[in-house]
Amino acid sequence: MRIDGTFLRALLLGLAVAATTFLSACGRGRPAPPPQGPAEVGVVTLSPERVVLTTELPGRTVPYLVAEVRPQVNGLIRERAFEEGSDVKAGDLLYQIDPAPYQAAYDQAKAALAMAEANLPAARLRVERLKGLVDIRAVGQQDYDDATAALLRAEASVAASKAAVESARVNLSYTPIRSPISGRTGRSSVTVGALVAGYQPVPLVVVQQLDPIYVDVTQSSAELLRLREGFRRGDLKRESSSEGRVRLVLEDGSPYPREGKLKFRDVTVDPTTGSVTLRMVFPNPDHVLLPGMYVRAVVEEGVSENALLAPQQGVTRDTKGAPYALVVGKDGNAEQRALQLDRALGDRWLVTKGLAPGDRVLVDGLMKVRPGAPVKPVPAGATPKAGAPPAPTAPR
């Protein structure tokens, strides 16, 4: 049986009209959803705060005093009078060089001085006698001149002998090698019986004073210029009670229990790093800080009397990495503000530009609003978070 094409098309059109009519009737039977109101968001109202600004600068510890002990005369080491790694006082004996040849030289110089002094009185008396005879022309002038020259030679011999005695005494005094400073000794480079040379390039031992101890840190010159500009504008002020005080964070992250002081800031910028060196001094009675340790110094830069701190959860970044925040505008709509941030202080950002006191920053419900959309602000924490479990009820 063949079906006419016109009849088939008419049948399909009728079915489509019937389906449309049926769906329209069903739609008229359902009520329309009510219009949604402004999204409820949590906000934090900003107010000026007094904040002490600090910065962490990396650096290393440096001994307060360093003495590289070297011999000043040649000789054999007869004794080492200290234990490696022990504390010594200034003037304590470290090494003893064999003093025998220097003692003999000293005795010989004293004997030569005695001989020179013994010849001096006779020469002086001869000059005095010939002076009277010359006046009466009993002796010739040449004899008197020769006697005067002999006296001068005897006096010069005495002076030379005294200098030789002093030189021998000094050399003898160099045979005991003593510590020039108080501090802690390092590893000894020689043992008993070693032959050492005066003023040799390799030190016998290095003594370092560790209490107090220096900490040298570096700070960029750009940061110094920024701080100087902040003080000039009045954004930062110096706090006299804490000026120059420094705290220290050790390599493992633990704080050092004692405060230090800023000694000086170098006047030369390192051209390779663009930074300057700051030197601090810290008490170190327990010798916790050792030379060469990596530390971080917490330096107080100044005080900002009217700082604005925005919660970090209220600050986001665009595709270019620029920070911005959503605030409640005067018309009750969400308004996007571009921000300029200084640093993070705990869980908040220090904002230098883009926000003002009294601004209400959105921190909860940010995913529900867009810039320009109306919002219903409530204090942060009052809005339930999506997916949060219901509050537990007290047992009856």
Report the CATH number that the domain containing residue 278 is assigned in CATH: 2.40.30.170
* Window from 23-32, 250-259, 283-292 with minimum mean pLDDT: 23-32
* Predicted pLDDT of residue 189: 94
> Is the pLDDT reported for residue 363 higher than 70?
yes
User: Long-range contacts for 167-171 (Cβ within 8 Å, ≥24 apart)?
Assistant: 167/109, 168/102, 168/105, 168/106, 168/108, 168/109, 168/110, 169/106, 171/73, 171/102, 171/105, 171/106
Is 248 in the same domain as 226? yes
Is 235 in the same domain as 196? no
* Predicted pLDDT of residue 369: 86
pTM of the full structure = 0.67
The answer to whether position 19 is within a domain reads no
Sequential DSSP letters for 25-44: HHHHTSPPPPPP-PEEEEEE
The answer to whether position 253 is within a domain reads yes
- Give per-residue pLDDT as tens, 127-148: 778 777 777 777 778 877 778 8
**294 band by pLDDT with thresholds 50, 70 and 90:** very high
The answer to whether position 245 is within a domain reads yes
Higher-confidence residue: 273 or 8? Answer: 273
Is 236 in the same domain as 188? no
The answer to whether position 2 is within a domain reads no
- Give per-residue pLDDT as tens, 162-181: 999 999 999 999 999 999 99
Per-chain mean pLDDT for the chain: 83
**346 band by pLDDT with thresholds 50, 70 and 90:** confident
The answer to whether position 1 is within a domain reads no
**229 band by pLDDT with thresholds 50, 70 and 90:** low
* Predicted pLDDT of residue 170: 96
The percent of residues above 90 in pLDDT, for the chain, comes to: 42
Domain count, the chain: 4
* Predicted pLDDT of residue 365: 84
The helix-helix angle for 141-173 and 100-135 (nearest 10°) equals 160
* Predicted pLDDT of residue 175: 96
The percent of residues above 70 in pLDDT, for the chain, comes to: 83
> Is the pLDDT reported for residue 71 higher than 90?
yes
> Is the pLDDT reported for residue 72 higher than 90?
yes
The CATH number for 333's domain is 2.40.420.20
Spatial strand order in the sheet of 176-178? 176-178, 93-97, 75-80, 195-196
Could you list the residue range(s) of the whole structural domain that residue 137 is in?
Answer: 99-174
Is 188 in the same domain as 92? yes
Relative to beta strand 87-88, strand 75-80 is: unpaired
Is 91 in the same domain as 180? yes
The CATH number for 131's domain is 1.10.287
Is 152 in the same domain as 234? no
The runs of H, that is alpha helices, within 294-352 are: none
Domain boundary among 240, 270, 305: 305
Rounded Cα distance, 377 and 363, in Å: 10
The answer to whether position 282 is within a domain reads yes
Is 85 in the same domain as 195? yes
The answer to whether position 275 is within a domain reads yes
**281 band by pLDDT with thresholds 50, 70 and 90:** very high
Is 91 in the same domain as 188? yes
Is 217 in the same domain as 259? yes
Is 170 in the same domain as 113? yes
The answer to whether position 385 is within a domain reads no
Higher-confidence residue: 280 or 52? Answer: 280
> Is the pLDDT reported for residue 366 higher than 80?
yes
The CATH number for 204's domain is 2.40.50.100
Residues 6+ apart with CB under 8 A from 315: 323, 324, 325, 339, 341, 349
* Predicted pLDDT of residue 59: 92
Is 283 in the same domain as 323? no
Is 235 in the same domain as 355? no
* Predicted pLDDT of residue 1: 43
Domain boundary among 305, 335, 358: 305
